Structure 1
Amino acid sequence: MGIVALREGDTFEAHLPLLIIGAGACGLVAALAARECGIELAVLERDALPRGSTFMSSGFIPAAGTRFQAEKRVDDSPRLMASDIQAKNGHEADPAIVQALTDYSGRVVEWLADTHGVPFDLVDGFLYPGHSRMRMHATPRRTGEELMGCLLTAAETTGVDILTRARVIDLHVDDARRVRGVTLERPDGSRESIGCDVLILACNGYGGNPELVARYLPSLKDALYHGHEGNQGDALLWGEAMGVSLKDLGACQGHGSLATPHQTLISWALMMRGGIQVNLEGRRFSNEHGGYSEQAAKVLAQPGQVAWNLFDARIHQTAREFEDYRNAHIAGAVRAFDSLETLSKGLDLPLDALRDTFTEMRALAEDGGGDSFGRGFSPETLLEPPYYAIRVTGALFHTQGGLEIDTSARVMGQEGGVFPNLFAAGGAARGVSGSNDSGYLSGNGLLSAVVMGAIAGREAARQLLRGDAA
């Protein structure tokens, strides 16, 4: 991976006005937005089949003020959504970026639904940690795989050219800091060069690069990585070489509920609907409503780096709306017990400790107080037999820091100002999760990918149409 200084007389084998690196949700949405403006472009994808981190996610996109919310009588606004994001990250994110994302979120979701046929509806019935309103929009199966399928169909229908098996290895940059083209490598080692007037980096973060994870996320360096293997930090490495301003590189999305050894994501809805996590000593060790990202490190700090999700039949039935949960159930990850005694024996957990844990929850529900971790319990959500259990571990899903951008997704330099024709979004760019693992508000990843991807595609097209990209 490198930056190649453009020399006088250098030429490219082909040329397109716009190139986009990465065919995940971010790159595809950027391409749809640019194509809508009539821009000729190509999306360069290293894999044979575009998947990216989106494919491995639940596919939930937070948005405020949509008609999908109105249909279910959810009163929300971009201002309230922005407040929730900033409260979760400790007001560490750029407020202008947060405002841009929240202001545009509803329009992007409705545009994808109305123009490109993405069958969104509102996920209701519970709130994710930190959200004050139900604002998660998802496709019917509640999977990132389905969302990616919808976006790929939209790209094909719209005439977006996607070059697969095309790994970009070099950016060609002139003395004015303009990216003039790229070199890509094919699986057989052959190389091609393509010139461009504008480049969008949509190639996600560095979660798949152990060296970078150890450098910027030392608390998760031994965590299971449950993200796309292509997230090698390409944008970050190019940015370092070009003198780009890099921000919040310690930010990430972890998850404290990955079924092990099945490696299936278990929705945090289990916790928000009344479930708990206990360690191998049969004791709770955190506030399960604090957030699933920071929960990853807490689970990894437990004996054996594992925990048990404990819940009941009520929660089990509602969780079946999630395809990942249904898959985990089919795979045998979900175990059922008719009493604490059988659960204790089946999971090899100390019965006395389990009884103490459940007694404390009932006492807290009766007096309305909170426990030592800050969580309260209500009578209607207390767990009742039969009980269900899933063995889980903590995992790193994707990183949230990256290239600093402005509200138009233009990449910013270390000394200020913007690069003339370089845009970034999604995991390649600085997100809105602050500086560490605790600032991640559910959906921040796809918010930055989908909404900022749309902004990047629109703004790149505007630059090209104005004729000031050359």
Structure 2
Amino acid sequence: MQSFDVVVAGAGAAGMMAALVAAEAGARIVLLERDAAAPSTLSVSGGLVSAAGTRWQQAAGETDSPENFAADVRAKSGAAVDAVLLQAVTHGAAEAVDFLADVAGLPIHLHTASRWPGHSAMRLHATPAESGAELQALLRQAVARNPRITFRDGVVVRTLRPQGVATSAGAIDAGAVVLATGGFGGAPGLVARYCPKAAQAVHVGGTHADGAGIGWAAALGAELLCMDSYQGQPHVSPHLVEGVRPRFGASLPALGAVLVNRLGQRFVAEDMGPSELTAHLLAQPGGVAVEVWAEAAQQAALAGGPFRRAVELGAVARCADLAELAARFGLPEAALAETFAAPDRFGRRSWDGPPQPPYYAAEVTGALAHTQGGVRVDADARVLRADGSAIANLFAAGGVACGISGRGAAGYVPGNGLAQSFALGLRAGRAAAR
């Protein structure tokens, strides 16, 4: 029988944070990963973390606070977010970013290339390439450097035990278990049950996001919250390129991009939250649209890792004029010209007119990035039953735990998923080590 102080199931953002924090507290950790080579929700993300009141914001002259962060969350998701969870995330995210920089040794900076919907201040933090793949690689390096963490790849957790977990490599004893195995975006049956509006969306999150951890906790009586909540991703190519589905990032509308459907017509205020925009996009003919932006937006968007990768894969077209744009994407040129000549009638927050040539454009569809519902936790990320009691020695963070997006798709704000993962991962690691 193998024995450790803490077993962490899942080596994504939440799991690696929990392992690093618990190890820093002196615990012996085993960090289990099902398939380190497979795309994870972290690796395919933009690697942007919401955190408020940080030294990076102060250095940039950006005024912000956890209270402002919480107010922004409530403005988007209403009263559906658990108050204890909201406090834990909005106050814990800044501490988590400090830990990433000062203890894990990650080079952190504040994203300032554009302002994102749902944020009253610039609070997105990232590593230099602003890429989830880079963030994952840097975290894995930090894990590898820590002698108190035993990392095991290719190990599938089968179920929870009274003291530890049962895995494909045998039973592991531990004083505490941290569940960080992700949400259920990759489980079509669960998505259809809990998030029917996203059932037809292509899943672009982690390969193994099957909801297993949520199921194990529920079997022990854990309360599940906001299970219909998810992050929609409307800036995704409908086509695979070299086995990859290019993602263009949610910054484009704030940079002036517009969406036109197959009829050459705009159909929505593109700068609404990206998650709720997904449903509008999927409702268009064929569930696709063409996103169009100008040169300045192209240069600004190149700050984001997923966007740069999409450009490298040839998923972004450059068109000299409307005629070339229409021909390139099979759009009716007359309708497209009429659309670009018309004033905004959809209520965009900012509107300086349509993009000017040369045009950059890509075909996009609505996708499901990850689910946001999960088990209820307390301020220490302990898993709770419906009566408020804690399940002994069981913690959850990331996709297993309920997020701060409320109900449905409209409450999600870019960067808040990783804010929850890191803030709860930090608190789970600290409490589990105790």
Q: Same fold (TM over 0.5)?
A: yes
**How does 1:25-174 map onto structure 2 within 5 Å?**
25-49=13-37, 52-159=40-147, 160-173=149-162
| Aligned counterpart, 1:344 | 326
Q: What letter is aligned with 1:153?
A: Q
Contact 2:383 2:394 in 1 (8 A): yes
| 1:301 equivalent in structure 2 | 283
Letter of the 1:149 counterpart:
A
What secondary structure is seen at the aligned counterpart in 2 of 1:90?
A: helix
184, 199, 224: which one pairs with 1:206?
Answer: 184
Tell me whether 1:420 sits opposite 2:392 in the alignment: yes
Deviations 1:197-246 (A, max 9, x none): 11110111111111101111111112111011211111121123211101
Whether 2:363 is the aligned partner of 1:374: answer: no
1:184 aligns with 2:184: no
Q: 1:226 aligns with which of 204, 214, 222?
A: 204
Amino acid at match of 1:93: V
Which residue of the partner structure matches residue 332 of structure 1? 314
Q: Distance in 2 between matches of 1:285 and 1:91?
A: 29
Instruction: Check whether the contact 2:44–2:306 (CA below 8 A) recurs between aligned residues.
Output: no
CA contact (8 A) 2:14 2:422 kept: yes
- Partner Cα distance (2:35, 2:324) in 1: 47
RMSD: 1.5
CA shift, 1:51, in A, is: 5.7
Contact persistence 1:23–1:52 (CA under 8 A): no
Following superposition, the deviation at residue 376 of structure 1 comes to: 4.2
Cα distance in structure 2, aligned partners of 1:311 and 1:29: 37
2: CA distance between counterparts of 1:194 and 1:386?
A: 59
- The TM-score with structure 2 as length reference comes to 0.96
- Contact 2:253 / 2:271 at 8 angstroms: preserved in 1? yes
Q: In structure 2, do the counterparts of structure 1 residues 431 and 376 end up closer, same or farther at CA, with 3 Å as the change threshold?
A: closer
Give the Å deviation of 1:341: 2.3
What is the aligned partner in structure 1 of residue 405 from structure 2? 433
Q: Does 1:243 align with 2:232?
A: no
Name the SS for the 1:269 alignment partner.
coil
Moved more, 293-302 or 58-67: 293-302
Assess if the C-alpha contact under 8 Å between 2:95 and 2:423 holds in 1.
no
SS at match of 1:260: coil
From the superposition, tell whether residues 50 and 352 of structure 1 become closer, same or farther in structure 2 (CA, over 3 Å). Answer: closer
Q: Alpha carbons of 1:91 and 1:353: their partners in 2 closer, same or farther (altered >3 Å)?
A: farther
- Residue 319 (1) aligns with residue 319 (2): no
Rounded to whole Å, the distance in 1 between the matches of 2:349 and 2:384 is 44
Native 8 Å contact 2:375 2:384 kept in 1: yes
Q: Distance in 2 between matches of 1:278 and 1:127?
A: 23
Structure 1: which 5+ runs fail to align? 1-12, 174-179, 186-190, 365-370, 463-470
Q: TM-score, normalization: structure 1?
A: 0.88
List runs of 5+ in structure 2 lacking aligned partners. none
Equivalent residue, structure 1, for 2:247:
265
Q: 2:361 aligns with which of 376, 389, 392?
A: 389
**Structure 1 counterpart of 2:116, one-letter code:** Y
Once the two structures are superposed, residues 381-418 of structure 1 have per-residue CA deviations (whole angstroms, 9 ceiling, x without a partner) of: 75111111100111111100011111110101123311
Partner of 1:288: 270
Residues 49 and 341 of structure 1, relative CA distance in 2, 3 Å threshold: closer
Please give the secondary structure, in 2, of the residue aligned with 1:163. strand
Which stretch shows the higher mean deviation, 410-419 or 245-254?
410-419
Aligned-residue offset at 1:282: 1.0
> Is the 2:5–2:433 Cα contact (8 Å) retained in structure 1?
no
Match of 2:337 among 350, 355, 368: 355
